[in-house]
A and B are shown apart, each in its own frame.
Chain A
Amino acid sequence: MNTTQNTQPAGLQAPRAKMQAQDVRVFYGEHQAIKGIDLELMENEVIAFIGPSGCGKSTFLRSFNRMNDTIEGCRLEGRILLDGEDIHAADMDVVMLRARVGMVFQKPNPFPKSIYDNVAYGPRIHGLARGRGDLDDRVEDSLRRAGLWDEVKDRLHAPGTGLSGGQQQRLCIARAIAVSPEVILMDEPCSALDPIATAKVEELIAELSQQYTIAIVTHSMQQAARVSDRTAYFHLGELIEVNATDKVFTHPQNALTEAYITGRFG
């Protein structure tokens, strides 16, 4: 198949690859879900993974922080590099990897603890904060960057599960950025949210892209068009096309991509 790769997003000079997937193949038992994909996540870019259900985009996303390790019978071949280091190397601790490559899930999943404890959890287990005041600052900073501070500053010790869906998702984002990750993986972060909450999260993604490398799986092509610099189209476990987002949506190179984005199947 005709695969176009690594076209530079407009406006970025000499982009550096933050993460690189090299010939990645993922198996669930006998079933091969990802059939040999090469893809680079550039520094400070937002890259959207789109494609029909079951095309493997979520599986591929979860390979970047080894969340697939937790699935029984899931096996990965090929290499994934973070700043040139193999994330499956013996000296790469998975705890360290996940501290550097954070993740936000499809369904908001705050811990059933207070808002404060949700955000403070990462810094606490990784020993990032020096003292109570430092931890407070870190929590406030993360909540501010997630655009949630003003809404929750008076009830930091109320349960995180008591927030609305959109607030919960932003809390999960705050929780993820509280450990200062380098890459944030988002697995359909807005699919359980209403349009207003979605807009807020998308705004947040745009802001976060200044500092973080973000990979986002989405079912909404409008969302991909709104938030991402590049878009990758997946089909049946293969990467069909990856290009600058406006190019993918205006001049798709592949017939499958075109069929998908014009809504002929999905």
Chain B
Amino acid sequence: MNKQPLSSGLSERDMVRSRLAKTLRRRHARERRFRLAGVVSVGLALACVLLLFGSILQRGLPAFWQSSIQLPIYFDPEIIRVDAAPQPLPDEPPVEFQRRQLEWQGQLARSNWQRLLTLGVQQLYPEQQIQPRHAQALFTRAVQHQLREMFAADPGLLGQTLELSLLADANVDVWLRGKIDRSLPDAQQQLAAPVRALADQLQADGHIKLKFASALFGNADSRSSPASAGLLGAFVGSLYMLAVVLLVAVPVGVGAAIYLEEFAPKSRWIDLIEVNINNLAAVPSIVFGLLGAALFINWFRLPMSAPLVGGLVLSLMALPTVIIATRAALQAVPGTIRQAALAMGASRTQAVFHHVLPLALPGVLTGAILAVAQSLGETAPLLLIGMNAFVANVPASPLDQSSALSVQIFLWQGHELRNFFEARTAAAIIVLLSLMISLNAVAIYLRKRLENKWS
């Protein structure tokens, strides 16, 4: 190497170095800016999520507890005028026994159970002249059925006094929790003044307790007795739909994806189908509702409001997503595995089912479960097939009328008893979100488990 032009070489080297330093500074600055933007956007997203969850929890958690009234109830033989509970006689045909039982149930139903409540409250404050309708307004309507069922289960209660905890009326709960402005004039209050006074008095004397709202989880929706309205019917309906989607959309979607990805010859038809599957994923969900109403209800004559129909509609919606996710998972399997299997003399089907699919399974399952969870939160298509009907029973089969969690949220959000159902709505959202988070957790667990197996 010629070392003669040392001075000029040095200066040129210096120049290069200073220019490098300059551009380097600029590059570093650019990187810092980009990172900052990333951190800010992630932070923003996180803040939104926290805000969402925070507000839902803050509104919804109070609904998990509700006011109930503790008082002794005397099962007064003067009021419960029934014969002894029928016992099966020897040589009695079952039909006859059933008839006698029904008759006894009729007697029970004709007894004035509300009167027990009135007497219970009047007993607490014997010095006051409490009107029966004011006493009865304290309790939600379902309480009288509760008393009747207690008695039917144990007729020995006749003539006994029990210390009971009975669900307060929704308006009483609202009043006691300060969810309504106490300074409003009488005409705008939902409870009569004597009832409000009575409720305050009961609370002051320690007869009102906040108890876990088991009705929320144990009952179906109710109009006549809002305080005992629950989510169970909607929850079971959603579970049925979940099962239908799992049984319909996942096998069909995964099968279609495997065929398209591994077997279908490349042709213009297949390209057309692919484009349309991708388009289907972007079709508004309400359109699927219309399709479902036309196809399953009008044509196949399936019942309205049934989880089976809801599940089928949601399956149609989930299908494109399942197919796209499955194809992505299949594409991610290295081609060398297919080659290895084919070179061993495996048929195409064997190569796919022995090697490609097991490797793609974590991705397939994750995609499928996420698609199912997403479809479970859909509301619009369910409205069009009548799942927004008021259903007071827990569906016993996927063909029974039912609501769904998402629709229940919609219905409660529009309930006329606004200040009571606001919290219930948020509580229903918490339940729906919990269900989805559990599904996603299952997806993550399955993926981790299956991935760890060989890597």
Contact = CB atoms under 8 A, between A and B. Distances in A.
Given A121-B354, A161-B455, A111 B345 contact: no
Contact of B343 (A72, A98, A113): A98
Interface string A21-50: 000000000000000000000000000000
B345 A125 contact: yes
A111 B338 contact: no
A70 B342 contact: yes
A176 B342 CA distance: 11
A121 B337 contact: no
A67 B343 contact: yes
Nearest to B359: A112
Interface string A88-111: 000000011111001101010111
A65 interface: yes
B454 interface: yes
Contacts of A110: 340
A70, A126, A172 — which one has the most chain B CB atoms within 10 A of its CB? Answer: A70
A129 B300 CA distance: 52
B7 interface: no
A77 B342 CA distance: 22
A165 interface: no
Contacts of B339: 67, 70, 105, 109
Nearest to A100: B345
Interface residues of A, number: 28
B337 A109 contact: yes
Q: What DSSP secondary structure best describes chain B's contact surface? A: helix
A179 interface: yes
Contact of B344 (A96, A113, A161, A175): A175
A72 B266 contact: yes
Contacts of A102: 343-344
A110 to B, nearest CB: 8
A159 interface: yes
A176 B346 CA distance: 12
B336 interface: yes
Interface string B345-368: 111001000110011000000000
A176 B344 contact: yes
Contacts of A112: 337, 358-359, 454-455
Nearest to A111: B355
B342 A159 contact: no
Interface of B: 266, 334, 336-347, 350, 354-355, 358-359, 454-455
Given A109-B339, A112-B358, 7 more contacts: A98-B343, A98-B345, A109-B336, A111-B341, A125-B344, A175-B344, A176-B344
